[in-house]
Homo-oligomer: A and B are copies of this chain.
Amino acid sequence: MTDCALCRDDGGLLLWRGKGWRVVRALGAEVAAAPAWYRVIAAAHVAEWSDLSPTEQARAMTLVTAVERALRATLAPAKVNLASLGNVVPHLHWHVIARFDWDSRFPAPVWAPAQRGDDALRLAALRERLPACDAEVVRMLEGLSHSSMEELGP
């Protein structure tokens, strides 16, 4: 498993780690055009969603939903995009990405070619708000651990 990037590394700025899952904000060139890009990453090296138990799936989607809510509350995006692809790194992870109508790919997926140039001013303003968004993500996830996550069981 040492050749799996998500077994070896956190896969971004680590915001939260709980039972079976961690949450990071993605960093680097890959997310330059859409920097409000978070990931909910399985602790275990499992490839496919349908390999998870219903309990593990429920836990994952509770986390994805919490991250989405934090993004909506702090960034008011035009749309949130969710995806679990894993073609390059077949270690289950959910992308949770805030999209804006001014971003260079919108309304296409972030993986599509750019439709327009980057809006440097708006991107810079968005990046300035990411620490506050990170904090809200953490707050939402910590709130879960005192309520619904405990009900999800082992």
Contacts and interface: CB of A to CB of B under 8 A. Distances in A.
A123 B20 CA distance: 37
A87 B64 contact: no
Contact of A48 (B48, B49, B72, B88): B72
Contacts of A69: 50
Contact of A85 (B65, B83, B84, B87): B83
Contacts of A49: 64-65, 68, 80, 82
Interface in A49-84: 49-50, 54, 57-58, 61-62, 64-65, 68-69, 72, 78-84
Given A87-B106, A108-B111, A109-B111, A50 B79 contact: no
Copies of this protein in the assembly total 2
B48 A80 contact: yes
A99 interface: yes
Assign chain A's interface to a size class. Answer: 35 or more
Contacts of A106: 87
Interface string A88-126: 101000000001000000111101110000000000000
Given A50-B65, A64-B49, A113-B113, A108 B87 contact: yes
A143 interface: no
A148 B58 CA distance: 14
Interface of A: 47-50, 54, 57-58, 61-62, 64-65, 68-69, 72, 78-88, 90, 99, 106-109, 111-113, 148
